[in-house]
């Protein structure tokens, strides 16, 4: 009798371990490319719950106050997709190299996402750059 209970207990534990949420991102990097100062800084990271339990994203944080991530409020059911929205402050003229950390109940509980790009101020272009641009447009 003890052997049967032990076997059932081990089987139940191994089944419970298999039941888990899994987060799979379409891409772990968003490239803004070169954008102008003041441009739309909102981008999205799309993901799917490829596990067999609801995915609950408990926290999304950024490596900088210039980037504001927004997580889904509701759990993402198995097979369904979700979005983490990221808004970068494009009034900062600099290269973009930031990390967004996602914490969830997934098999891999912490995932690092990246944004990259370059914000330029067109009003500070050199005379030569403006001349080259006007020649190309003609």
Q: What is the fold, at CATH topology level, of the domain defined by 21-119?
A: Immunoglobulin-like (2.60.40)
pLDDT > 60? residue 121: yes
Segment 26-30 long-range contacts (CB within 8 Å, at least 24 positions apart): 28/111, 28/112, 28/113, 28/114, 29/113, 29/114, 29/115, 29/116, 30/86, 30/113, 30/114, 30/115, 30/116
**pLDDT tens-digit map of 7-52:** 555 555 555 556 799 999 999 999 999 999 999 999 999 999 999 9
Q: Could you read off the pLDDT of 62-99 as tens digits, one per residue?
A: 999 999 999 999 999 999 999 999 999 999 999 999 99
Which of the four pLDDT bands, split at 50, 70 and 90, describes residue 123? Answer: confident
* pTM score, whole prediction: 0.76
């Amino acid at each position: 009798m003890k052997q049967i209970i032990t076997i059932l207990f081990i089987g139940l534990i191994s089944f419970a371990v298999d039941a888990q949420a899994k987060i799979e991102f379409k891409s772990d990097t968003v490239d803004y490319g070169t954008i102008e100062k003041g441009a739309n800084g909102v981008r999205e990271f799309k993901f799917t719950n490829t596990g067999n339990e609801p995915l609950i994203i408990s926290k999304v944080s950024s490596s900088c106050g210039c980037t504001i991530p927004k997580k889904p409020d509701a759990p993402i059911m198995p097979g369904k997709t979700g979005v983490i929205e990221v808004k970068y402050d494009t009034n900062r003229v600099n290269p973009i190299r930031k990390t967004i950390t996602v914490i969830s109940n997934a098999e891999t509980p912490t995932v690092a996402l990246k944004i990259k790009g370059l914000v330029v101020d067109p009003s500070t272009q050199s005379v030569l750059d403006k001349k080259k641009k006007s020649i190309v447009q003609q």
